[in-house]
């Protein structure tokens, strides 16, 4: 046991209590952010004359050494310490002596942990950002290749109207584009630096909070020290953004699983992204998509857990808040793995265009277009709807698609029908006539793809600038 606060105690902490209370097993993850925060703190203390130049240099050299040793694996973080803050401070004192004891001047672990977690999330947002970009590129690639790969669009999981694969994929592009924006949005709102909030009431030292905020790349210091140490809103926002990403991935996974089934055969997941069965030799299972769908529950769980933990917590810091970490870390790991595996699965997946096209033909997906044909020739829509209903019944009886129903049958129901009906209801015509913005028509889709391309380019420029 090595703790920072033994002075007012007459007894050692019980072993079980110590373990229950400790967070080092998980907060060691942000050792780099903890050290970075301490270096900024020390620079500010010396600038304000609270530490002298020699002390500053000694401490910074000591901290830099610890960071290097940890990164290179020369120094190991052990459970002997209560948390990462105690570990770093203790090793520093061991290495540089008395100067190290001044590191914690004007600081509390409450503002320290609030800072560390923010710095960590900020770094992870960047990683997630890049992963979402990878996924968006994978989707865009499919869109560009499948502008006229016809397939049925569904409502109620019933074939509804013909669309294209590009159009269907475009819906996912939109979802992940919003996710990308949402993640960046959180960054804007969490851009205040809690360091200097102290335990809750600031400190009596003349700290320059604006300076530390600037050194650490924040927009400015948090404006209320109580909120500075007890705000976990940004984590809740972050976990909701992660939950929404998982919801999107899960819907997509569900479709991939269906499309990969024997019944659909719209796609084939590559062998490298499938798994076999220990008993049934013929099986090739979509385990990755299923696991992505499954892990969604885990991330939703984390969001819910943090919401419940924060509910009813009085101001300011309470130890309950230590619980924010494991869920958040677990969610970050899950989401990163899911996005990157999903993107890989998409890039290697084969699309069976013929099967999709046949499926669109078989499901009367062009029935609306037969009605439109009549409407364009003066038949009121409601009458046309009824007539096409009768035609569909006839097709079911004859076991043929609308495209193969003889012209006599059409004319028996309405004499307005002419030979050009077949061209008017071909999949190509049905899709290409849908030319409004956002519709599946090839021209409309091409325009949207251009917009997406520009979006990705702007995004890359923005990354280069930051
Ligand atoms: N491990 C603690 C946490 O994650 C650090 C803050 C400790 N502060 C305290 N007053 N015990 O929340």
Distance from C-alpha of 305 to C-alpha of 14, rounded to nearest angstrom: 28
Q: How far is the CA of 319 from the centre of ligand 1 (A)?
A: 6
Q: Compute the distance from residue 442 Cα to the ligand 1 centre, in Å.
A: 57
Location of structure tokens 């709807």: 385
Name the phi and psi angles at 161, rounded to 5: -145, 155
Q: How far is the CA of 198 from the centre of ligand 1 (A)?
A: 12
Instruction: Give yes or no: 156 in active site.
Output: yes
Question: Could you read off the pLDDT of 306-320 as tens digits, one per residue?
Answer: 999 999 999 999 999
Residue nearest to atom 12 of ligand 1 (CA): 322
Residues 6+ apart with CB under 8 A from 107: 41, 195, 196, 198, 203
Are the CB atoms for 41 and 16 separated by under 8 Å?
no
How far from 431 is each of 147, 366, 405, 447, CA to CA, in Å?
A: 10, 9, 20, 15
Query: Which residue among 109, 228, 306 is best mutated to probe the pocket of ligand 1, counting the most ligand atoms within 8 A of its Cβ?
Result: 109
Ligand 1 pocket, residue 348 CB under 6 Å: no
pLDDT of residue 5: 67
Q: What is the C-alpha separation between 455 and 108, in angstroms, rounded?
A: 43
Q: Alpha-carbon distance 96 to 111, whole Å? A: 24
* CATH architecture of the domain covering 6-105: Orthogonal Bundle (1.10)
Q: Pick the more confident residue, 12 or 218.
A: 218
Relative to the CA of 317, which ligand 1 atom is closest? 10
Indicate yes or no: pTM above 0.95. Answer: no
The Cα 421–Cα 435 span in angstroms is 20
* Cα(310) to centroid(ligand 1), Å: 15
Query: Using omega within 30 degrees of 0 as the cis cutoff, is the peptide bond preceding 113 cis?
Result: no
Contact 259, 266 (CB under 8 A): yes
Q: According to CATH, where is 1.10.40.30 located in the chain?
A: 367-425
Nearest CA owner, ligand 1 atom 10: 110
Ligand 1 pocket test, pick from 29, 83, 323 with the greatest ligand atom count within 8 Å of Cβ, gives 83
Residues of the chain with CATH 1.10.275.10: 6-105
pLDDT class of 1 with cuts at 50, 70, 90? low
- State residue 4's pLDDT score: 73
Q: Report percent pLDDT > 70 for the chain.
A: 98
**How much is the pLDDT for 465?**
63
Nearest to 117 by CA among 35, 30, 242: 30
Work out the pLDDT band at 217, boundaries 50, 70, 90: very high
Between the CA of residue 320 and those of 192, 242, 312, what are the distances in Å?
A: 22, 22, 11
Q: What DSSP line would sit under 246-289, residue for residue?
A: HHHHHHHHHHHHHHTSTTT-SEE--GGG-B--SS-TT--B-HHH
Q: Give 2's pLDDT tier (boundaries 50, 70, 90).
A: low
Each residue of 219-244: pLDDT tens digit? 999 999 999 999 999 999 999 999 99
Residue nearest to atom 4 of ligand 1 (CA): 322
Query: Would you tell me how many other CB atoms lie within 10 Å of the CB of residue 420?
Result: 9
Q: Which atom of ligand 1 is nearest to the CA of 82?
A: 1
Q: How confident is the model over 323-343, as a mean pLDDT?
A: 98
Q: 305, 322, 306: which is closest to 116 by C-alpha?
A: 322
Q: Are 328 and 239 in contact (CB under 8 A)?
A: yes
Strand 220-221 and strand 267-268: pairing? unpaired
Whether residue 136 is predicted with pLDDT greater than 80 in this model: the reply is: yes
Calpha distance 63→39 (Å, rounded): 7
C-alpha 72/C-alpha 168 separation (Å) is 47
Distance CA 409, CA 394 (A): 8
The residue with tokens 């004192």 is 93
Q: Flag whether pLDDT at 3 surpasses 80.
A: no
Q: Is 230 in the pocket of ligand 1 (CB under 6 A)?
A: no
Quote the ligand 1 centre to 190 CA distance (angstroms): 20
Ligand 1 pocket check for 249: Cβ under 6 Å: no
- What is the full DSSP assignment across 157-186? TEEEEEEEHHHHHHHHHHHHHHHHHHHHHH
Q: What does the CA dihedral 377, 383, 388, 393 come to, rounded to 10 degrees? A: -150
Residue found under tokens 């076991």:
399
Residue partners of 415: CB distance under 8 A and separation at least 6:
none
Query: Average pLDDT, stretch 372-386?
Result: 96
3-state secondary structure of 216: coil
- What six digits make up the tokens of 38? 């301490």
Measured CA to CA, the distance from residue 274 to residue 251 in angstroms comes to 19
Closest CA to 122 of 194, 55, 178: 194
CATH hierarchy code of domain 367-425:
1.10.40.30
Q: Of 38, 156, 197, 225, which is the active-site residue?
A: 156
Q: 128 near 336, Cβ under 8 Å?
A: yes
pLDDT of 463 reads: 62
- In CATH, 110-149+167-353 is 1.20.200.10: yes
Q: Is the pLDDT of residue 10 over 90?
A: no
Q: pLDDT tens for residues 428-460?
A: 999 999 999 999 999 999 999 999 999 999 877
Query: With 90 as the cut, is the pLDDT of residue 290 above it?
Result: yes
Phi, psi of 441 (to 5 degrees): -50, 140
Q: Which residue has the tokens 């979402």?
A: 132
Ligand 1 center from residue 114 Cα (angstroms): 9
- Does residue 268 register a pLDDT over 90? yes
Q: What residues have CB less than 8 Å from 129, skipping those under 6 apart?
A: 180, 183, 184, 463
Dihedral angle, C-alpha 342, 176, 337, 239, nearest 10 ° = -150
pLDDT band of residue 283 (cuts 50, 70, 90) is confident
Atom of ligand 1 nearest to the CA of 325: 4
Residue 406 has pLDDT above 80, yes or no: yes
C-beta 110 within 6 A of ligand 1: yes
pLDDT at 343 over 90: yes
Contacts of residue 53, Cβ cutoff 8 Å, sequence gap at least 6 = 46
Which of 22, 110, 111 has most ligand 1 atoms within 8 Å of CB, for mutation?
110
Q: Is the pLDDT of residue 11 over 90?
A: no
How far, in Å, from the CA of 72 to the mean position of ligand 1?
27
143 membership: H or E segment, kind and range:
helix 109-145
Q: Is any atom of ligand 1 closer than 6 Å to the C-beta of 317?
A: yes
Query: Using only C-alpha atoms, what is the Rg of the chain?
Result: 30
* Angstrom distance (rounded) from CA 366 to CA 163: 10
- In the chain, CATH 1.20.200.10 covers 110-149+167-353
* Catalytic-labelled residue, pool 277, 334, 385, 426: 277
Q: Whose CA is nearest to atom 11 of ligand 1?
A: 319
CA of 85 relative to ligand 1 center, distance in Å: 9
């Amino acid at each position: 046991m090595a703790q920072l606060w033994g002075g007012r105690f007459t007894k050692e902490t019980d072993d079980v209590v110590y373990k229950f209370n400790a967070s080092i097993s998980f907060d060691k993850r942000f050792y780099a952010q903890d050290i970075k925060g301490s270096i900024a703190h020390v620079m500010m203390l010396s600038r304000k004359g609270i530490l002298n130049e020699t002390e500053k240099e000694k401490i910074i050299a000591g901290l830099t050494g610890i960071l290097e040793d940890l990164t290179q694996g020369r120094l190991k973080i052990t459970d002997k310490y209560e948390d990462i803050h105690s570990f770093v401070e203790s090793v520093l004192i061991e290495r540089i002596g008395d100067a190290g004891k001044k590191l914690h001047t004007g600081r509390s672990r409450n503002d320290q942990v609030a800072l560390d977690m923010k710095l960590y999330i900020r770094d992870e947002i960047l990683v997630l950002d890049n992963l979402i970009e990878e996924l968006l590129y994978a989707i865009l690639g499919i869109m560009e290749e499948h502008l006229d790969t016809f397939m049925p669009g569904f409502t109620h999981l019933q074939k509804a109207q013909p669309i294209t694969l590009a159009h269907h994929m475009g819906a996912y592009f939109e979802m992940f584009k919003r996710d990308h924006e949402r993640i960046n949005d959180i960054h804007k709102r969490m851009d205040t630096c809690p360091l200097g909030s102290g335990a809750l009431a600031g400190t009596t030292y003349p700290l320059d909070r604006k300076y530390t905020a600037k050194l650490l790349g924040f927009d400015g210091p948090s404006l209320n020290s109580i909120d500075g140490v007890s705000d976990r809103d940004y984590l809740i926002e972050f976990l909701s953004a992660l939950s929404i990403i998982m919801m999107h991935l899960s819907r997509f996974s569900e479709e991939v699983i269906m499309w990969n089934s024997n019944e659909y055969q719209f796609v084939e997941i590559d062998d490298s992204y499938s798994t076999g069965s220990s008993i049934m030799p013929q099986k090739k299972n979509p385990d990755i998509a299923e696991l992505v769908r499954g892990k969604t529950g885990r991330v939703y769980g984390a969001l819910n857990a943090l919401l419940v933990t924060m509910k009813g917590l009085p101001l300011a810091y309470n130890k309950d808040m230590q619980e924010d970490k494991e869920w958040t870390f677990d969610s970050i790991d899950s989401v990163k793995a899911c996005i990157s595996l999903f993107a890989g699965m998409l890039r290697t997946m084969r699309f069976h265009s013929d099967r999709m096209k046949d499926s669109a033909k078989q499901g009367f997906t062009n029935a609306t277009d037969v009605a439109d044909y009549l409407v364009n020739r003066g038949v009121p829509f409601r009458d046309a709807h009824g007539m096409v209903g009768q035609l569909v019944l006839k097709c079911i009886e004859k076991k043929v698609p609308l495209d193969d129903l003889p012209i006599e049958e059409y004319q028996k129901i309405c004499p307005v029908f002419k030979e050009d009906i077949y061209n008017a209801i071909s999949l190509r015509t049905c899709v290409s006539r849908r030319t409004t913005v956002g519709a599946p028509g090839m021209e409309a889709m091409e325009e949207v793809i251009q917009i997406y391309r520009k979006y990705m380019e702007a995004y890359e420029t923005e990354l280069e600038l930051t």
